[in-house]
Structure 1
Amino acid sequence: MGRIAAKQTYIPTLLRLFRQFGYEGVTLAKISQATGLGKASLYHHFPGGKAEMAAAALAEVDLWLETSILPILSSKVKPIEAFELMCQEVSLFFNKGENDCLWAVLLLEQSSKNLFDSQINRAFSRWIEAIANVLITAGANEIAAIQRGEDAVITIQGALILCHGLKDFTPFQRVIKRLPQQLCQDI
């Protein structure tokens, strides 16, 4: 197995660890234990150390956005169908609310704040813009469409945070179910 292919096998584990413990909380010892790699092997695959490992996990979230969410929102289906499919993918990716959002975890930590802010900003902006474009195409005005896109992402992110605080994932599932109708209201 080539170095790149081998490196890819560890990314789901890195994503899980950074979601669970954040940038500060993930130690090389935890990564080594979870991947089964010694420190030397970790640095072989990720010469940039923990920052490169976090970047690889973040790239996986960005890939999900690029391959699972944005294509749905740029498809030629009815807006309600696009938003229902988007919400299904969101629910799947966040395991019905049980998985933390890596974007939020990294943004809220001071130690990783400047490392990933622009990449996360770009991802959120693209998602909001894609939602807004669906609404604009359906006849909504641009300002209202952008605000609804922002509200949708706020709803998803807020539900994730609330569910983890409550240790109850039903609020996430409820808002994901309602979100397509809310987005399409009055269009």
Structure 2
Amino acid sequence: MPKARKIEDEALMEHLGTAFKDFGFEGTSLAMLSEAAGITKSSLYHRFPAGKNQIALEVLYSTRRFLDAEVFPVLLGDASPELRMKSFVASLNTIYASGADSCLLNMLAPPRGQPDECGQEIAAIFNQFLKAIAAVARASGCPAAEARRRAERTLIEIQGSLVLARGIGDSSVFSRMLTRLPTIVLGSHHQP
């Protein structure tokens, strides 16, 4: 009979992801990951024999599963573009703890010019976001090229506000960005 795990996979990924969000890939040690997860380093190595790189990749896979289940279906659903944006904004507020959390995708991104598996997964997730957000803009009547620009601007706004909120210690920057998102994606005739 297999030995019972002391921490479930979903909770483990959440704890490990939090450590990476707080300290980034380079700043997070195995000791920090072990402490965040509440398990010994040997247990961490048992679950992730390839070490920190494998842990980061597994956290990204877990993030992708969450987004595929909870966020992308909202953006690509049948609801009105306005309702999709309302749900998306609420999801972002929860995911990023009202701007207090950093973006895991940013904190795990490899250095420029040094692509790796994490970088490939991050690129795939960002591209999926671009397509899904552009689909909402298209559903509001926006032409394809403009929808893509609006999707890019949306991701720039999200990422920029998270960096600025962390940098100046003021999460209200993120909150103000969230109020702008529907207008960015849907256009000015769709005022919140």
TM over 0.5: same fold?
Answer: yes
Unaligned runs of 5+ in 2: none
Count residues in correspondence: 187
**CA RMSD in angstroms, aligned pairs only:** 2.2
Unaligned runs of 5+ in 1: none
What does residue 20 of structure 1 align with? 22
Which region of structure 1 is more displaced relative to structure 2, 2-11 or 22-31?
A: 2-11
Distance 1:3 1:47, change over 3 A: farther
Q: Secondary structure at the match of 1:140?
A: coil
How far apart are the structure 1 equivalents of 2:20 and 2:113?
A: 13
- Is the 8 Å Cα contact of residues 10 and 35 (structure 1) preserved in structure 2? yes
How far apart are the structure 2 equivalents of 1:111 and 1:57?
A: 22
Q: Structure 1 counterpart of 2:170, which letter?
A: D
- C-alpha deviation, 1:137, in angstroms: 2.7
Q: Secondary structure at the match of 2:71?
A: helix
Map 1:47-58 → 2, pairs under 5 A: 47-58=49-60
Map 1:116-155 → 2, pairs under 5 A: 116-155=118-157
- TM-score, normalised to structure 2, is 0.88
Residues 138-168 of structure 1, C-alpha deviations (whole Å, 9 max, x = no match):
3211000011011111110110000000100
How far apart are the structure 1 equivalents of 2:144 and 2:63?
A: 27
Which one of 164, 168, 189 corresponds to residue 166 of structure 1?
Answer: 168
- Is the 8 Å Cα contact of residues 134 and 147 (structure 2) preserved in structure 1? yes
How far apart are the structure 1 equivalents of 2:92 and 2:49?
A: 32
- C-alpha deviation, 1:109, in angstroms: 4.2
- C-alpha deviation, 1:10, in angstroms: 1.5
Identity between Structure 1 and Structure 2 (%): 29
- Is the 8 Å Cα contact of residues 136 and 186 (structure 2) preserved in structure 1? no
- C-alpha deviation, 1:36, in angstroms: 3.0
How far apart are the structure 2 equivalents of 1:13 and 1:115?
A: 21
How far apart are the structure 2 equivalents of 1:129 and 1:37?
A: 38
- Is the 8 Å Cα contact of residues 65 and 127 (structure 1) preserved in structure 2? no
- Is the 8 Å Cα contact of residues 56 and 108 (structure 2) preserved in structure 1? no
Which region of structure 1 is more displaced relative to structure 2, 177-186 or 138-147?
A: 177-186
Q: Structure 1 counterpart of 2:25, which letter?
A: Y
- C-alpha deviation, 1:39, in angstroms: 2.2
Which one of 151, 156, 159 corresponds to residue 158 of structure 2?
Answer: 156
- Is the 8 Å Cα contact of residues 110 and 118 (structure 2) preserved in structure 1? no
